[in-house]
A and B are shown apart, each in its own frame.
Chain A
Amino acid sequence: MKIVKYKITVLLLCFFGTILAQQTPASKQSETITITGVTAHIGNGEVISNCTIIFENGKITSISNSNNSNSLKGTIINAEGKHVYPGIIATNSSMGLVEIEAVRASDDKDEIGDMIPHVRSLIAYNAESKVVESMRPNGVLLGQISPKGGVISGTSSIVQFDAWNWEDAAVKVDDGIHLNWPNAFSRNWRAGTTEVNKKYAEEIDKINLFINESKAYNYGNKTIKNLPFEAMTGLFDGSKKLYVHVNDEKGMIDAINFKVNNSIKEMVIVGGYQANKITDLLIKQEIPVLVNHTQSLPSSNDDDYDFPYKLAKLLVDAGVLVGIQNGSNSDFQARNLPFYAGQVVGQGLDKEKALELITSNTAKILGIDANYGTLEVGKSATLFISEGDALDMRTNKLTHAFIDGRMISLETHQTELWKRYSEKYKNN
């Protein structure tokens, strides 16, 4: 415990010397770490009070509520009265692809072209982004970085948020292709209305054509490469998931039909505003939903004022696999993911179930649940300790965070400025 405190002080001192620089990534876990006396929120619904967690070489080796002092190993962190959670996962984010939204030069999230599955987000991901580092003090430690725009926007990858570069950051390379499903309604700017999209069928035809061409290409000998078609291969062998961004009931049903007809192995619905109307279908076709961030407005005036607050609960109650994503919100808002989940608790969802929406469920949906998403023996020690309930902004106060067993800095550009100016006024 003392050692850790000392270490943190040393780290802090370093930061004051290097104001405005990014945080230095932690090096590989070399020493066993034991957290004791903590309330552990496993991420699968289970809570273990007075828990001891041990991790070595980046993996959790023991987790139990026995208080056997013999089992304590390595650096001891006494977290009595505190809470430990699996690292929160941000999905469908353009974090690291955009630094400042209004500055075009810093924006790399959208490439030219309608059907560009071959365009990969990973290589443009800025591991040193100030936005990325600002996730960590709230417990958001992993993210799916996805390109935006067009019909097929490109291919996403999953990264962890403490790395020197994109290569080191990568957790799962090229995990999925993102498809923006055509809207059933389109905007008529002149009339100030949205109206039935008369080109809906035509737009779907284009997608079908592209899929069919991709399949045909894959049957061929591929002596002459076609990059876009080549990139689609993963959808048919299951190595990539198809993330379909769609919100309306009809669009979702059409998209699911499209998946079945084209023998796409795995599909995820992103958005799913009306998913509560088709839960049976979602369950039958085993299609999970990444709902929009809960702190958003209802899309129709007549909808319940709290509909976005409770959509995730409606889906959980029906048995659908659900996660929460940051949606169309600015990337910096992804640090509010714990509170997006907390919002659903206010609608009557059990707290541990709500935690799953941003940890284990998300890990399952992204296909990284073998290593991430819950606190279980054998999984990566990607977790954080909070002084209180992490889903409530009043009590989400991190003391430690670990990614693959590495104790990462919780300082950011923002905490540095905080300390610097607090100091200024203290001295005055």
Chain B
Amino acid sequence: MRKTLLSLVLLCSISIYSQEYFPVSTGVKTTNTNYLAFKNAKIIVSPTETINNGTLLIKNGKIIDVGTKITIPKNVTIINLSGKSIYPSFIDAYSNFGIETPKRTNRRSASPQYDSKREGYYWNDHIMPENNALNEFKFDEKKASELRKAGFGVVNTHIEDGIMRGTGILVALNSKGNNSERLLNDKSGQYLSFSKSAKSNQVYPSSLMGSMALLRQVYLDANWYKTGATENKDLSLEALNNNINLKQLFYAGDKLNILRADRIGDEFNIQYTIVGGGNEYELVSEIKKTNATLIIPINFPAAFDVENPFQADYVSLEDMRYWNQAPSNPGVLVKNGIQFSLTPYGLKSLSTFKTNVLKSIKYGLDKTKALEALTTIPAKILGKESEIGTLSKGKQANFLITSGDIFDKKTTLFENWVQGTKNVIEDMNVKDLKGNYELTIADQQFSMEITGEPSKHKIVVKKDSLKLSGSIKYADNWIGIIINESDSVYKLKGRILNDSDNLSGNAIIADGNFANWSAKKKEEPKKDEDKSDAKEISALNIVPLTFPNVGYGFKEKPDQETILFKNATVWTNEREGILTNTDVLVKDGKIAKIGTNLSDRNATVIDATGKHLTSGIIDEHSHIAATSSNEVGQNSTAEVTMEDTIDYEDINLYRNLAGGVTIMQILHGSANPIGGRSAIIKLKWGEIGPEMIYKNSPKFIKFALGENVKQSNWGAAEKVRFPQSRMGVEQVFTDYFQRAKEYDILKKSGKPYRKDLELETLAEILNKERFISCHSYVQSEINMLMKVADKFNFRINTFTHILEGYKVADKMLEHGVGGSTFSDWWAYKFEVNDAIPYNASIMHNVGITVAINSDDREMSRRLNQEAGKTVKYGDVSEEEAWKFVTLNPAKLLHIDDKVGSVKVGKDADLVLWNNHPLSVYAKAEKTLIEGKVYFDLEKDLEMRNSIKKERTELVNMMLNEKKNGAPTQSAKKRVKEALHCDTLY
């Protein structure tokens, strides 16, 4: 009877939404004003409010009332939920539900596309604020059912494509209604990311820093467009201006990208809600400072399959740690007061969602916070806290009926109601028959145990102690049992009674006759809960984080120390030259004293007898510690900056410290004549990018000449981007500087102007506020660029590589440019045919400030030897050769006021060598930056041992995990490409 009633209710629920002004052509107009009351339930109204034994009253898909003493109208259907719980259903704030994500079309052989193919929109195809998810939306019944099964009632979806992705929609997972009912918001927010659209092959931006620069320029252009000063129609900018007051959701997908996205937001007064990647715990205090609400995926990595020791060796410590630490991410975020919602985004299967939420709880996530992260916070993120997220009066009737605590493994989710319509997940009216019974068939006595879940019950039947084979079928309140006893077969059937735990019915026994049977349920054996919990895998030990959180990361960041080096050979790079038997005192991060017989009570004394103390090595040209090194999408990319792309976890930072390197200029690559801006960093291993950047850093930009910028070695298809010859390169420079000059004049005139990040940067060069380091090979182009600079009345600061510098050294001297070159590289391409290892010495002899650079993450850690080669090739004096990698690059970078020599008052960036520093035999024993010891040979040995120990510990944990049946992934290693000048991203 009840079933029929329920079906009636369901039928009605379809029509309860029919709009009042819609005509009806299939019958009479029906309006249902009945109520539904869920009684005797534990109602979790919100994460912080629970009502025991309460009633939830709903009508027309809305909650009418909730409480213990509410008035129940007469036209009501009552559903008794005694012993059960009601929760608000979950909300997914970030998904692509019902919207097909565009797939990239592979067009390998075609020439690259540099220009947009759209008309009437922004010049870059990856900027699509005009897109609206509703146009692409098709309710996905299958996915909706999976989501409901995982507890979701409302999902937010968008077109997951492009850098600016347009607006999304908020949808209730109401399969029985249509868009007119389930659409909660047709513009739920504007969506952004750093990733390009799959629909367009437009090259720009090809790098992360390009994406960042593009976003900045779009915001500027939208503001300019608003003033009406633009003559053309731009539907993208119009849409962006319309969307700007919506919620702004940014997909970052990684801890560092969260910081990057937030930085852009700060620059334009936008607070994004940011989708993370699951590794936020590693930078939690920095992320907290963003004040952003996060959306956090919980796709925890599976353990690596490390049963094969060869393969185990292959997995890096950082990847093993990630497996170990990732489940603690949500808990860590809560402890640090970061607001976030949880999303199943990124999970291969929704069925693992609950498992992973429970895992987060086991690893420290508070249950109340977990529920908030699934209900109230996503509601707030979407600005719909008045409609969804809790079960208070007036909100949508989106709720779950469960057998108990929703965050308990054993809890069953019975029903998921969306907008007042019922969706059965597990039939809650099925009686659980689990238990022990005394079974009587005719006059025979048996014992019977029923185990397993209702849909999959099993039986064990015994006569005395003899075990008999048997099976049970259970459906639609009927059971059928078959028992075999030697030759005889008993076939039992019976109907389940709601008012009794005992079973009975009739049976066909061995001789084919009927008999009655009955089974009397014995008292429930006491559940040994503790025992079953103990069987579950308990949370593993979380290995501690290091700075950075990879192999050779510090347990604690180094402190500034007072250090006294006694009796060293000191290479001062100053007038004093090389001092023997000299003491150097380091205090407060600076070189405090240089002399003999120095003492300081608080200093750690280091006996440097027989050792050499020098200033730290400075590499004028490096591409380490960068996520990308080239923005290749345009022939000028002055708008991008390497400062946006610092990868503070690059192990090469540490390896270079071990080679005595303290400062590097991280340069943009050489894919275009006008490249991006540099990052000058101190190798402060353990800090993040912005902390590494040299304080009050002089501004630099990379330019390039030759084969790379004219794409000579890029393959036959790359013949469409100007310039393709050295002749064209000159014109690129002339064009851009002329435009920058005109731009600067307009800007300074006080008249309104369109702010252009690229021209701003180039104007800085004209105004002598930014320096150029130009990748260069052959003499013709070197000469050309100096002439272009002369014409625009500025000076090229540095020619880097400058392999034919020796051919035009006199002209370089006259122009006043420095040269930063390789010690002995050549023969790798046509334009280095005349590169000679004597280049540095010739330029030096002519009077040019010369540095030796690496452009190579391995060579940079032996830059002392590369300087030593100039002693061999060209007889440079040792004292001068040493300056090639210390003082001279400091001069070229305009930082020699603070670094580059051992001088009182300068930064204590020092290296202690066990041998002559230019010698191949020398090893750096200690490397200091601002008085902090960042590399120490002895500490390095300790770290090697602790890495070994930790690896073993983690491998054992993973072996255990596998033994306990957890899924695993095969051994793999993440590869960081070696970036060079010609890396194309």
Binding site for B on A (CB under 8 A): 99-103, 130-131, 184-185, 187-188, 191-196, 248-250, 295-298, 300-302, 304-306, 330-332, 335-336, 339, 342-343, 345-346, 391-397, 414-415, 417-418, 421-422, 425, 428
Contacts and interface: CB of A to CB of B under 8 A. Distances in A.
B972 A195 contact: yes
A336 B833 CA distance: 18
Contacts of A191: 972
Contacts of B827: 99-101, 130-131, 330-332
B22 interface: no
A336 B874 CA distance: 16
Contact of A332 (B551, B806, B826, B871): B826
Interface string B313-326: 11011100000000
Contacts of A393: 865, 868-869, 871-872, 918, 920
Q: Which of A99, A249, A298, A396 has the most CB of B within 10 A?
A: A396
B830 A102 contact: yes
Contact of A342 (B318, B872, B921): B921
Given A100-B833, A339-B920, A301 B825 contact: no
A277 to B, nearest CB: 9
Contact of A392 (B807, B836, B868): B868
B707 interface: yes
A273 to B, nearest CB: 12
Nearest to B881: A394
Interface stretch (B170-178, B579-587, B650-658, B718-726): B650-658
A194 B951 contact: no
8 contacts: A102-B713, A102-B829, A249-B313, A298-B655, A301-B317, A342-B921, A396-B872, A422-B842
Contact of B915 (A99, A102, A298, A346): A346
Nearest to B825: A332
A305 B318 CA distance: 16
Interface of B: 310-311, 313-314, 316-318, 550-552, 651-652, 654-655, 658, 707, 712-713, 806-807, 809-810, 824-830, 833-834, 836-838, 842, 845-846, 857-859, 861-862, 865, 868-869, 871-874, 878, 915-916, 918-923, 940, 944, 947, 951, 970-975
Contact of B316 (A187, A300, A396): A300
B807 A421 contact: yes
Given A345-B921, A393-B872, A187 B550 contact: no
A101 B654 CA distance: 31
B320 to A, nearest CB: 10
Contacts of A346: 915, 920-923
B866 to A, nearest CB: 8
Q: Which 3 A-B pairs have the closest CB atoms?
A: A102-B829, A342-B920, A418-B838
Given A194-B973, A301-B552, A425-B809, 18 more contacts: A101-B828, A102-B713, A102-B828, A102-B830, A295-B859, A300-B313, A301-B550, A302-B947, A332-B828, A342-B920, A346-B920, A392-B919, A396-B872, A414-B836, A418-B838, A421-B807, A421-B842, A422-B838
Contacts of B826: 332, 414
Given A100-B830, A196-B311, A393-B865, A187 B919 contact: no
A56 B941 CA distance: 52
B894 to A, nearest CB: 27
Given A103-B829, A187-B975, A394 B845 contact: no
A302 B837 CA distance: 34
Contacts of B878: 394
Contacts of B920: 339, 342-343, 345-346, 391-393
A397 B872 contact: yes
B890 to A, nearest CB: 23
B196 to A, nearest CB: 16
Given A102-B830, A330-B827, A418 B872 contact: no
B871 to A, nearest CB: 5
B658 A418 contact: no
Nearest to B915: A346
Nearest to B971: A196
Nearest to A129: B827
B575 to A, nearest CB: 23
Contacts of B918: 393-394
A336 B858 CA distance: 15
A103 B832 CA distance: 12
B920 to A, nearest CB: 4
Given A103-B829, A392-B921, A302 B974 contact: no
A196 B972 contact: yes
Contacts of A339: 865, 920
A229 B297 CA distance: 57
B838 A302 contact: no
Contacts of B313: 249, 300
A376 B983 CA distance: 49
A192 B318 CA distance: 15
